[in-house]
Structure 1
Amino acid sequence: MSTSLRATVLTVSRVLAVGALLAAAPASAQEGDADIPLPVPNPERLTLGLTDEDKQDLGADEARALYKQHERQLDRIQGERVNVEETVSATEAERARLNERLLEVARKSADSENRLTALEEEMAKLREEEAAIRKQLRDQHREIGDLLAVMQRMGREPPPVMVTQREDALRMVRSGMLLNSFFPALKSRADSLAARLSELTRVLTEKQQRAEQLAAEKEELERLRTKTRDLIAEKRQRLKQQRARLDALDRAAERHAAAITDLGQLLKTLDKEVAARTGLGEYEEQLQSGEIVELKPRAKKAAFVQPGRMKPAVPFAQAKGLLMLPASGPIVRDFGEQDDLGIESKGVSIETRARAQVVSPADGWVSYAGEFRSYGQLLIINAGGGYHILLAGMEEIYVRRGQFVLSGEPVASMGEASASESRSGREARPSLYVEFRKNEKPIDPKPWWASELAKG
């Protein structure tokens, strides 16, 4: 290549390089932000049209300028990488804080529901005691009335003042004997009446106090429920980045639920899809490879304290004696117990308060959330290792398929009342059905409940 031609090519190449730099930078940067490094989509265009020999002919100033430009781009890329890493760390920390707040509110809501139930039971006892006292007062009122009626008759026919005949003496003796028996009896009845009236006053005062406590506790529970809904809404907002994946799982689950009638077949089908799209697949591989080792009892309890975890704190098989009941209330039908038709229960039924919160008993991935056959609203949580938790009877489910939930995290809420009458004789209450499965077969959940709960 001749010297003149090389010079021409070099000049044109420099113009093209400058043009590439200007085209890659926004207008604002071209006007006055030259020191701010901006990304270049195609860095190779900086030396467009130059051969290796031509590149060597670049002057020191041009080479230095190109070097500085590349250096700024590398600095910017590194800065962006740091920002992304910081954003990821901040997101994980925020998720942990949000989970921690949600678990704390769930615990407070459960305590509030338990206090409300205890207060309502105390109120029921006080009402019964009040009714019994009022009945006793009515009975004593009648007895005193009878005594007073006899004394009034005696007043209308008083004994003679002077004894003139034998009959007069007998009448005086009888009157004295009657008065001698009536007055102590009347005093005893009057004392008893005063005592019962005092007892009634105490009961009414205590009843009023309990009513005030009950109203305050109901207000507190409603506040906690509102806070729970707000936290769940916030968590849903933060899960939007996973929306496409969750939507795909939703559509797949709905298709399968419509076509499948057997629950075991549904579990198999959904588990494959959830494992492919979430961390469940990797967790199952870790379980099978033996990467997850047996933890000591103290370490198991400590593992549940980490709110930012994205896989189970403890393998489900190792969590015996550590899990909480998903709702507050008595177990009204246990595993294996027969119902009115003689059919053995494959799970447990918990009588809850109206609108009670339902929490996940264990860590796991939501395999299914929605209507399914006779179960109504059904929530299936895959805890890994072939274990599933089924929850049914709720009115509203908060979580979505594919979502990872923590032990104690609110996942649903109950309705107002159950169609069946409560065993305790109270007004009908909602009933939550809980079933544990291992390799698709129902198992007794009692060994998994925390010891103080299993006794009930």
Structure 2
Amino acid sequence: MNWRAALLAACLAVPTGLWAQDVSPAEAAASALEDLSAARDLLEAAKGGRERVAALSETVRAYEAGLSAVRAGLRRATIRERELSLKLAGQEEEIAALLTVLQARGRAGSPSLFLHPEGALGTARAGMIVSQMTPALNAQADALRETLVEVSTLRQLQAGAERSLQDGLTGVQDARTALSQAIADRTDLPRKFTEDAVKTALLIATTETLEAFAAGLGEISGGPLETAANVDVFDQKGALPLPVAGRVLRRAGEADAAGIKRPGVLLATRPRALVSAPVAATIRYQGPLLDFGNVMILEPKSGLLMVFAGLDVVYGRTGEVIAEGAPLGLMGGKDAAIGEILTQVGDGTGSDLSQSLYLEVREDNEPVNPESWFRTQRED
């Protein structure tokens, strides 16, 4: 079974009414398939370095969306299959009685079998009772048949899940490898400035906070930057997409387990998830910083900084101007093995969101709530 067929089967096999989200499984599957198709078309048509990077980025995002759709479909399929199996187990006596009656009716080859010993009147009464019972028996039999068919379909879906997931994981890993190579080979991005490595090292060594580092960025570039795109980013305020697929784990000002409050939001993501630029911007800094791990700092416009901290791999070079949607890097961790994914699905857990990305926005070197810029929500 190829990836598209597997994705379609996994998403469409679950009845629409079983999904908690507003989006039906058919719509989710169609969207994921369109993303995959468009990404592959872009990849085949890509010739230049920048085109290839964009195509591969779309491919990675499409695979991530497809795998997420399959996980969600399998999780709901597993829950529904358990629900139906428990229901059938609790109705064993009722089902046995129903089957006995149906078998008796099936053996009745002649109306004479329904003759009543009290004569014609008794026979008429018995016939009326049987005629009233028949629609109810048929309805029960139809309901039982539908339940058994649904259970069989769900079990077939679960049995074929391993190959579907393996194809998807292999595809996304290949796409990430190709993306990293394409970015390494890229030489045609415009640059606003060239980083002074000595000044950068000194700034990192002499600052102890993100605020101090952000304030000193102007010295690295030699002055303020112009807008990285013709579109004014402030026109997009409140409507920017999150840089990575996931959910809000902690909002601005909420204390963590140690009681520390930060002005940014913490996003829960899957391992190796692709982090993308929400808007066209200049890379002001990329690399390790303080205790934040690998950090990417973008400047869409002079005085506006967007900080993304906690990446495992960062792409690009300081001073480069990148487009909206450009890849910034990858989250850490390792893709779950097939057995782990199926266990998570079976348990109904959300433990696959094991990585976290910190997002902070600063206007004129003052932190602001990122939710004033980004569309955020608690759930996937």
Q: Which residue of 2 is the match for residue 262 of structure 1?
A: 209
Distance 1:312 1:347, change over 3 A: same
Matches within 5 A, 1:50-65: none
Distance 1:187 1:404, change over 3 A: closer
Q: Is the 8 A contact 1:113 1:353 kept in 2?
A: no
Distance 1:365 1:143, change over 3 A: same
Q: Which amino acid aligns with 2:307?
A: L
Q: What's the offset of the Cα at 1:120?
A: 0.1
Q: Which residue of 1 is the match for residue 49 of structure 2?
A: 98
Partner SS for 1:130:
helix
Q: Which amino acid aligns with 1:439?
A: D
Identical columns (%): 25
Q: What's the offset of the Cα at 1:125?
A: 1.2
Q: Which residue of 2 is the match for residue 230 of structure 1?
A: 181
Q: What's the offset of the Cα at 1:266?
A: 1.3
Q: Distance in 2 between matches of 1:189 and 1:141?
A: 13
Q: Is the 8 A contact 1:368 1:381 kept in 2?
A: yes
Is the deviation greater in 368-377 or in 351-360? 368-377
Q: What's the offset of the Cα at 1:392?
A: 0.9
Q: Which amino acid aligns with 1:441?
A: E
Q: 2:371 matched to 1:371?
A: no
Matches within 5 A, 1:157-168: none
Q: Which residue of 2 is the match for residue 433 of structure 1?
A: 358
Q: What's the offset of the Cα at 1:126?
A: 1.1
Q: Is the 8 A contact 1:316 1:387 kept in 2?
A: no
Partner SS for 2:237:
coil
Q: 2:30 matched to 1:113?
A: no
Q: What's the offset of the Cα at 1:391?
A: 0.3
Note the aligned Cα RMSD (angstroms): 4.0
Q: 2:177 matched to 1:252?
A: no
**Structure 2 segments unaligned to the other structure (5+ residues):** 1-46, 99-133, 336-347
Q: Is the 8 A contact 2:194 2:318 kept in 1?
A: no
Matches within 5 A, 1:62-211: 97-141=48-92, 196-208=147-159, 211=162
Partner SS for 2:306:
strand
Q: Is the 8 A contact 1:123 1:211 kept in 2?
A: no
Higher-RCO chain (CA-CA 8 Å, sequence separation at least 6): 2
Report Cα offsets for 1:167-209 as digits up to 9, x if no partner: xxxxxxxxxxxxxxxxx9x999998766543332121133345
Report Cα offsets for 1:207-233 as digits up to 9, x if no partner: 345555444333332332233112111
Q: Which amino acid aligns with 1:445?
A: P
Q: Is the 8 A contact 2:247 2:269 kept in 1?
A: yes
TM (normalized to structure 2)? 0.62
Q: Which residue of 1 is the match for residue 319 of structure 2?
A: 402
TM (normalized to structure 1)? 0.53
**Structure 1 segments unaligned to the other structure (5+ residues):** 1-95, 148-183, 288-310, 419-423
Report Cα offsets for 1:107-147 as digits up to 9, x if no partner: 33223212211210110111122222333343344777899
Answer with 1 or 2: which has the greater Rg: 1
Q: Distance in 2 between matches of 1:238 and 1:384?
A: 22
Q: Is the 8 A contact 1:388 1:436 kept in 2?
A: yes
Q: Which residue of 1 is the match for residue 38 of structure 2?
A: none
Distance 1:319 1:98, change over 3 A: farther
Q: Which amino acid aligns with 1:378?
A: V
Q: Which amino acid aligns with 1:259?
A: T
Partner SS for 2:311:
coil
**Alignment partner of 1:357 out of 264, 271, 274:** 274
Q: Which residue of 1 is the match for residue 219 of structure 2?
A: 272
Partner SS for 2:243:
coil
Distance 1:204 1:428, change over 3 A: closer
Distance 1:145 1:190, change over 3 A: same
Q: Is the 8 A contact 1:364 1:404 kept in 2?
A: yes
Q: What's the offset of the Cα at 1:334?
A: 3.2
Q: What's the offset of the Cα at 1:332?
A: 3.0
Greater fraction of residues in helix: 1
Partner SS for 1:369:
strand
